[in-house]
């Protein structure tokens, strides 16, 4: 079965100040448990704020490092989910369910990509 990576994109500047609510975390936990029991979810995690990150860039044979925050970037990857689904349609449905557990004040985009095998 193909694997799909869902990259969770958020705008750190417009995310709720207190972060995820307890209710959101509970709904997220329930969905994660359901996905795990269904054999779909292989791995998932949230990421630390971009202010704690470093970009490593390679261009023209040269490496450069930039410490966060990355002010020129509107959206950052706030987390990910690695799923194994029968097809892309199933991966899209799980991703929709993930997005729907969020409250209305959240703006979240998931970029869903199939993992290349071999």
Classified as helix, coil or strand, 27 is: helix
Place of tokens 């694997």: 3
Tens-binned pLDDT, residue by residue, of the chain (118 aa): 999 999 999 998 888 988 899 999 999 999 999 999 999 999 999 999 999 999 999 999 999 999 998 877 788 999 999 999 999 999 999 999 999 999 999 999 999 999 998 8
What CATH number does the domain containing 109 carry? Answer: 3.30.70.1060
Q: Angle CA(29)–CA(98)–CA(33) in degrees, nearest 5?
A: 30
Query: What local confidence, expressed as pLDDT, does residue 74 receive?
Result: 83
- Residue 20 is given by DSSP the state S
Residue among 117, 47, 113 at smallest CA distance from 83 = 113
Query: What local confidence, expressed as pLDDT, does residue 99 receive?
Result: 97
Indicate the number of domains in the chain: 1
Q: For residue 85, what are the domain limits?
A: 3-114
């Amino acid at each position: 079965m193909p694997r799909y990576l869902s990259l969770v994109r958020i705008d750190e500047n417009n995310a709720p100040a207190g972060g995820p609510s307890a209710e959101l975390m509970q709904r997220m936990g329930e969905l994660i448990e359901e996905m795990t029991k269904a054999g779909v979810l292989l791995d998932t995690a949230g990421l630390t704020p971009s202010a704690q990150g470093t970009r490593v860039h390679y261009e023209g044979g040269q490496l450069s490092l930039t410490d966060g925050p990355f002010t020129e970037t509107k959206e950052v990857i706030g987390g990910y989910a690695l799923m194994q689904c029968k097809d892309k349609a199933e991966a899209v449905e799980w991703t929709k369910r993930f997005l729907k557990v969020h409250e209305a004040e959240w703006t979240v985009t998931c970029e869903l990509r199939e993992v290349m095998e071999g």
